[in-house]
Structure 1
């Protein structure tokens, strides 16, 4: 449905056709990308080269070649990285769920992803502006992870980070449903039976989650 958000596995965002397909379906995405993905800065604008008088008329093009996303983040500088709580861990702590708060440093830039497929999709107009999110821990000389997103330009940094780190939460919930609540215990052969089983396990997991969130961190740690 339009306006939905989707977070996908690491490096799936390197495929421009995949990102374009998500956009065509009205989905807001946060996709992992590698350092080889290239882009233009947000303020870059295409210009029309002078006509030589021979051949076809020139089309708008960016005067400078696209840069790798890692270079763009490093050019922004370590000082542009901001500490953000990326998630809550599994050890007891002061987090909302009673677990330890885990922080890292992140850089968020507005960029224009480049590439042949994107240029064809934009039909000669300027490349679309997207979010580039990079994790740059304080103990690292360079950024270590990168994501690309089409979330609105007004999206706060903590929301970008939470969306990028959503994969860990999904995997953690799935493990809990499978190991503690019996998601993998169904042995039937019918779709209605499987559907009922998954529904009941999901309801049980939602109940357990609400119970944890309603308790104070001290109560959760002593349980």
Structure 2
């Protein structure tokens, strides 16, 4: 990290211009540098104590109550992320991450499921959006989810500074769709949207992605009802009573788990991990998810009719755990490609961990909506800067290895023209 302060100042120029006032243009690099620099705590007070050029009051005012628009910096972050990892082969990964908290006054804090802890805990929950390619993630969005205990209490939201247009109950999939629209509007390039079952089990979420013309591969509950792809819709005529308004399926739906139970499962590898190739058993077939219009059957059951045809994919892990997914990738997509696409989502977990452990995403000690989102934005900017350095270092390393390999190859040609072994390409350094 020698000389990184100077490089940071140059890299931050697109973010500093929208800030306007020269004091804010000085506080932004100081805050980002404080997140990147040494120290176990990355909250305002210890960062200010480690920087002789700024005071606690200055940093606190900048992040908590300063008058500046974060949207311009969010747009600049999307532009830089697209430069780093954007493209047709990039993934846009939707997930959420929890920030454990004590007390009840920090905005959005409530007992809710925390994936990092694997249980329900008192925490804030943020919907995250990550752009990634070549196993390199860049976080581009973090938006706070407000549980009912907050949206039902207008006074509580007002005390925490929740903007008026955010003082409504919204699900995590709804927040995610708004973020996806923001990413699309910025011109960021990506090829496929990935998400876990917390989002993929929502029929409206999947349908909204398809309406936007997006490819997607998302998790699904094993209990989700599906129909075979060849299900037919019939229109039986009743001898008495009113005429039917909708068609009905000619066969009943079954759970996703049951649909794949009799399929042929194949052992596939999708990437190399620290302990060798990662492998699992996979199976897939074309289905139609039961998320169409609801129809009341003769036995008074309400049954959802077949939706669009998609891939249903099952995964059996060595631990005995089973996971299920659906995707609207083309019908000629191979099982290996489906598996690799589904498993590409893991890099967002890596990004969550690094933002917390290296950059203090969960160290913010303020209570306000504005302060939390600005702190999260600064951590994402810091993370994008670090990723840019890592990619540059990997490029230099790869170029050096290629030059060395070419020299070695030329030497071998002089001594033995039959020796035509190819040097292996260098990989990214550990993140």
CA contact (8 A) 1:45 1:126 kept: no
Runs of 4+ residues over 6 Å off in structure 1: 211-217
Q: 1:56 to 1:36 in 2, by over 3 A?
A: same
Residue 267 of structure 2 corresponds to: 83
2:312, 2:231 → 1: CA distance?
Answer: 15
Residue 34 of structure 1 corresponds to: 221
Residue 97 of structure 1 corresponds to: none
- Of the two, which has the highest radius of gyration? 2
Residue 158 of structure 1 corresponds to: 336
Q: Which runs of 5+ in 2 are unaligned?
A: 1-183, 295-304, 365-370, 402-422
Residue 96 of structure 1 corresponds to: none
CA contact (8 A) 1:183 1:201 kept: no
Residue 345 of structure 2 corresponds to: 167
Give the superposition deviation at 1:17: 1.0
Q: 1:210 to 1:202 in 2, by over 3 A?
A: same
Q: 1:126 to 1:167 in 2, by over 3 A?
A: closer
Residue 109 of structure 2 corresponds to: none
1:47 and 2:234 aligned: yes
Residue 119 of structure 1 corresponds to: 293
- Residue from 199, 204, 208 that aligns with 1:21: 208
SS class of match (2:387): helix
SS class of match (2:208): helix
Give the superposition deviation at 1:110: 0.4
CA contact (8 A) 1:106 1:137 kept: no
CA contact (8 A) 1:132 1:147 kept: yes
- In the superposition, the TM-score normalised over structure 2's length comes to 0.40
CA contact (8 A) 1:49 1:58 kept: no
Question: 1 or 2 for the larger relative contact order (CA 8 Å, sep ≥6)?
Answer: 1
Residue 108 of structure 1 corresponds to: 284
- In the superposition, the TM-score normalised over structure 1's length comes to 0.72
Give the superposition deviation at 1:209: 5.3
User: Which stretch of the first structure deviates more once superposed, 164-173 or 16-25?
Assistant: 164-173
1:34, 1:213 → 2: CA distance?
Answer: 42
1:203 and 2:381 aligned: no
- Residue from 182, 194, 197 that aligns with 1:7: 194
CA contact (8 A) 2:222 2:324 kept: yes
2:352, 2:270 → 1: CA distance?
Answer: 19
Residue 323 of structure 2 corresponds to: 145
CA contact (8 A) 1:32 1:148 kept: yes
Residue 94 of structure 1 corresponds to: none
Residue 40 of structure 2 corresponds to: none
CA contact (8 A) 2:237 2:244 kept: no
Q: 1:210 to 1:167 in 2, by over 3 A?
A: farther
Q: How many residues align?
A: 199
2:265, 2:396 → 1: CA distance?
Answer: 35
2:282, 2:394 → 1: CA distance?
Answer: 28
Q: Which runs of 5+ in 1 are unaligned?
A: 92-99
Give the superposition deviation at 1:83: 1.4
